[in-house]
Structure 1
Amino acid sequence: MAASIPSTMRASQWTTTKGGLDKTLTLNPSAPLPKTAHALPPDHTLVKVAYTTPNPIDYKLAEVLPFIFSKPATPCLDFSGTILATTLPHLKPGELVFGKTEPPAFGALGEYVVVAKAGCVPVPNGVSLKQAACVGVAGLTSYQCLAPHVKAGDKVLINGGSGGTGTFAIQIAKALGCYVTATCSGANAELCRSLGADEVIDYRVEDVVGTLKRSGRQYDLIYDTVFAAPALYWECHHYLKAEGKFITIAGTPSVGFLVEFLKLFLWPAVLGGGQRKLAFHTAASSAVDYEAIAKMMAEGKVKAVVEKEFGLERAGEAFAHLKSGRTKGKIVIEVAGE
């Protein structure tokens, strides 16, 4: 096995995040492979990475908690690519797979990555590696925030419908049979409608909370992908059913954020606090969930919206664009190609 696997790889890495990860990423043409690449642990797979996609967690964790990483560090969780070796009986070398690695390992911004069983599933027929690479965090997060909590006929509000998680969320909610309201800027309204949103609220020209109150609509689930305004939660008893849930995924791992977020959980309703169930969700790798998303993609019900593509040597530019907050859908970085 070791003879067919190289000892080095191309990878975009960082040794410091001072000034921002987007400014400190450097292409290393001879980075070492992951430590276990030549002697895989049980239930692990060595993948030659074709594409990866950056997510906010890639730079937020590195910039806030750089000391938890071994340097030089290779970011990115999402991947798609080809199996080189595996200790899993249901997978085989040469098979196309996708999924995500686990923090703090990351590593998908390099040509080779070792992935655990829960984060590695076959790419379905008819779905490209480029499309599959986008599912890792964003697709999985949206699926896990929606599928266990809604049923056909339910009403779902997606706050931030045009970003990476939002574009997946609209399509997954529609595939599950839900009525979908999405918020976004007017420039992205048509995109959200084209993905299946039944109603779009332009947050730049409308007061979202006021519009929701006036609508009289009662939602079964609110999925907040941006958490830009806490008022959306504080006031949600006006437009979220008593048994409904408010789920958010957004936030920065900092003391300030944790303090504000604890207020949302602990401030009593009798003193003006929230009156609906609030949950913060972090995606957990699940082969079963990835397979469900893959099925939706194979059936044409869900697709990745790719706004921009970059080569490995331009990974810093990809992160700069992601950090701008103006991304429509996903950004793809070609690592080794197909």
Structure 2
Amino acid sequence: MKAIVQTRYGSPDTCTLEDVDDPVPASGEVTVRIRAASLNARDWHLMRGDPYLARLAPGFGLRAPTLRIRGSDFAGTVEAVGSDVTRLHVGDEVYGLRDGALAEYVCAPESLVTRKPSNLTFEQAAAMPMAGMTALQGLQGRVGAGQRILINGASGGVGTFAVQLAHAWGAEVTAVCSTRNVDLVRSLGADHVVDYTRDDALRAGHRYDVLFDLVANRSLRDLRRALTPTGTLILSGGGVFDGGSVLGPIGLLLRSKLTAPFVGQEVVALSTKPGAEHLDTLRDLAEAGTIVPAIDRTYPLPAAADALRYLESEHARAKVVVTI
């Protein structure tokens, strides 16, 4: 099969289209013929091996990624099933996540795959897994009617889902984004939009019940000052590649863990736990029209390096999808 393979850390030029062996499903796994895959910030972190501390984590290596095929979000059709698979069958249209999704086929545990939303295209469904689950797990149980929430990075993959979920759950949503994305986040349900090229949302004097930070470009002190005394700060990744870093957004997450026991505000370093039950929830929300994936651009598989380059450039908004 064709796949986007990387054997050393570096720029998108290190990601090449190659022929690799077709995967074979193990017990409890399904083989999916991928129709579309989407990119996440994790893809460029793995591609660059950045921040350097992350090279100690699974999937990374000291000199090259141990996960050779890029991508993790996918949508497609079940091609084969391993033993002990009970929910899914050959021919089912599905979506899910598994490393190695920038390829014609992927094998994934049944626990990370579920039926595709019936009203979405493969491209739209592929845009949902990681970003949608991050928004869902970050906000569910923490955001409700009448609360004021600030979403920093509202026009990104996670942010576009977070705006829609917070709006649907009755919160007053303030979205932070650049000028070109103001209309996008308004269309998704933001009540107020702060253009960070003109104004500083954290220094406007407003206080929020919840602050969802998806950028990691501000100090912990600045973020906490924008909260009410009993507010909740949710931190989820972020960072951009600027030539390499030791800690990157991990530094902010570590500081938040050290600070959390000593402040009245709740400080959450979000760690997403993927599972089919969360994918089912996202599917139900999509089929009800509560969330609609926002897609910026699509690329064919042979141009996946260009898609990664666009994602990394900071010009990408919402989701970037690769069709296969």
| TM-score normalised by structure 1 residue count | 0.84
Consecutive unaligned residues in structure 2, runs of 5 or more: 50-54
Distance across 2 between alignment mates of 1:92 and 1:132: 18
Of 134, 155, 168, 1:141 maps to 134
* Worse overlay, 234-243 or 285-294: 234-243
| Cross-structure match for 2:266 | 277
SS in 2 for 1:92: coil
Distance across 1 between alignment mates of 2:272 and 2:67: 25
Residues 41/301 of structure 1: CA separation in 2 closer, same or farther (3 Å cut): same
The answer to whether the 8 A contact 2:311-2:320 is kept is yes
Distance across 2 between alignment mates of 1:170 and 1:71: 34
Of 236, 256, 263, 2:247 maps to 256
Of 80, 84, 87, 1:85 maps to 80
The answer to whether the 8 A contact 2:137-2:272 is kept is yes
| Cross-structure match for 2:96 | 99
SS in 2 for 1:114: strand
The answer to whether the 8 A contact 1:147-1:176 is kept is no
| Cross-structure match for 1:125 | 118
Greater Rg by CA: 1
Displacement, 1:168?
1.1
Of 283, 291, 300, 1:311 maps to 300
Displacement, 1:185?
1.1
Cα-to-partner distance string for 1:8-64 (whole Å, 9 max, x where unaligned): x0111111223x1x1111111x21123xx1xx3332111011100111111212422
Identity in percent: 30
The answer to whether the 8 A contact 1:119-1:286 is kept is yes
SS in 1 for 2:247: helix
Matches within 5 A, 1:1-338: 9-18=1-10, 20=11, 22-28=12-18, 30-34=19-23, 37=24, 40-64=25-49, 65=55, 66-67=60-61, 73-87=68-82, 88-101=85-98, 106-211=99-204, 213=205, 215=206, 218-230=207-219, 233-251=220-238, 255-257=246-248, 258-266=250-258, 276-335=265-324
| TM-score normalised by structure 2 residue count | 0.88
SS in 1 for 2:267: strand
Consecutive unaligned residues in structure 1, runs of 5 or more: 1-8
Distance across 2 between alignment mates of 1:260 and 1:173: 24
Distance across 2 between alignment mates of 1:287 and 1:72: 22
Residues 130/249 of structure 1: CA separation in 2 closer, same or farther (3 Å cut): same
Distance across 1 between alignment mates of 2:27 and 2:92: 18
Letter in 1 for 2:6: W
RMSD of aligned Cα (Å): 2.2
SS in 2 for 1:295: helix
Q: Alignment length, in residue pairs?
A: 307
